[in-house]
Amino acid sequence: MQDSPASQDIRHDWTVDEIVAVHDRPLLDLIGEANRLHRLYQPPNYVQKASLLSVKTGGCPEDCAYCPQSAHYEVNLERSPLMPTAEVLALAARAKAAGADRFCMGAAWRQVRDGAEFDALLDMVRGVRALGMEACVTLGMLTQSQAQRLKEAGLTAYNHNLDTGPEFYAKIISTRTYEDRLDTLKAVRAAGLEMCCGGIIGMGESARDRAAMLAVLAAFDPHPESVPINALVAVPGTPLGGREKIDPIAFVRMIAATRIVLPGAKVRLSAGRLNLSREAQILCMVAGANSIFYGETLLTTPNASMPEDDALFAALAPVAHETRAVLAISEAERLRLSDLISRETYPS
């Protein structure tokens, strides 16, 4: 058995048929192969805790059929404008104290617009990096120069999902094309940012649609550094609000197929963990997942609770934690940001 990385493992020419065949292998073979590659290409005992915050919630002009934040649907959700930077940084500091090493901020925008709000977001990115955390944002479509400004602010990664395969996509979103998404991802790459790009299962798509998404991801050279796999959180009021929960084994198969097709990527077990037992989550990790969203809320919907996750990590213990170099920032900037954080965390 091959026990060191080999060039044939990192491929950009996966066909959809090949990936379907991988996905549909006997389960134990599938998990075994995914685990073998996981141990070759990833630190085997490391599971990243990423924390997620919606910094601008609801009222989005896009019509993504899964999304509670779309203005097209009647959902019980309070909209809120962009949060103050100090509040965001205080929550990032709290997430770091709780053990998160990545902080992801989401805004329900169709696209980024230059101006005061984008400037505030750049400040948030600087502040998160000054805390020594990885920073990721998901803000919708963005231009090359905006991607460049995010990079200059120290952003680690930009999250922009393909969501599903190119054929099924049109059944889910009509206001933004697959090509639009690929253009944004191109801008992300050209700016030298890490790419965080994945999708959702459980929207009514077939295994072939899931494989088709993985084939598009595999064609990126280099592969995305992180790949979130979400199970649909069916929110009442959205067009997909009535959909049945997926079988946890379908989650395991998708994670394993992702690990095999993209051995070098961090595979994030994202939305939908609430419906997985501790044991099913561990099975996902055996099959290649090595990152989770940690914290009681995803963007707008509940996530696994902190005590549940503490029990999960206790079962995995001891797990190693990666530390990344803190971005070099000026002393004046560091003082300004730490003042913002402490004022919010310890108000007098």
**What are the residue numbers of the active site?**
60, 64, 67, 104, 136, 196, 268
Contact flag: residue 140 with ligand DTB (CB under 6 A) = no
Residues 232-251: x/- map of binding to ligand DTB (CB under 6 A)? -x------------------
CB of 143 to ligand DTB, least distance (A): 20
- Tokens 């205080």, residue? 90
By CB under 6 A, which span of 21-29, 215-223, 295-303, 330-338 interacts with ligand DTB?
295-303
Binding span for ligand DTB by CB under 6 A among 85-93, 110-118, 204-212, 294-302: 294-302
Report 135-154 residues binding ligand SF4 (CB under 6 A): 140
DSSP 163-179: BS-HHHHTTT-SSS-HH
Q: Where are the beta strands (DSSP E) in 139-225?
A: 157-159, 194-196, 199-201
Is 166 an interacting residue with respect to ligand DTB (CB under 6 A)? Answer: no
Q: Is 2 helix (H, G, I), strand (E, B) or coil?
A: coil
Sign of CA dihedral 32, 33, 39, 43: negative
d(CA 88, CA 167): 37
Question: Roughly how many angstroms between the first and final C-alpha of the chain, as a whole number?
Answer: 62
> What is the greatest pairwise CA distance in the chain?
62
Q: Name which position in 86, 100, 195, 299 contacts ligand DTB (CB under 6 A).
A: 299
* Nearest to 217, CA basis, from 199, 192, 232: 199
Of all helices (H) and strands (E), which one includes residue 39? helix 27-41
Cβ atoms of residues 211 and 23 within 8 Å: yes
> What are the distances in angstroms from CA 348 to CA 93, 97, 334, 342?
18, 20, 21, 10
Among 65, 187, 212, 271, binds ligand SAM (CB under 6 A): 271
Segment 94 to 113, residues that bind ligand SF4, using CB under 6 A: 108, 110
User: Site residues for ligand SAM, window 137-176 (CB under 6 A)?
Assistant: 138, 140, 160-161, 163
- Asked if residue 161 binds ligand DTB (CB under 6 A), the reply is yes
221: which DSSP letter?
Answer: S
Among 298, 312, 327, 340, binds ligand DTB (CB under 6 A): 298
The amino acid at 220: F
Judged by CB under 6 A, does residue 52 bind ligand SAM?
no
- Give contact residues for ligand DTB (rule: CB under 6 A): 52, 68, 104, 106, 138, 159, 161, 198, 228, 230, 233, 270-271, 298-301
- Give contact residues for ligand SAM (rule: CB under 6 A): 60, 66-67, 69, 106, 108-109, 138, 140, 160-161, 163, 200, 230, 232-233, 235, 271, 299
- Give contact residues for ligand SF4 (rule: CB under 6 A): 60, 62, 64, 67, 69-70, 108, 110, 140
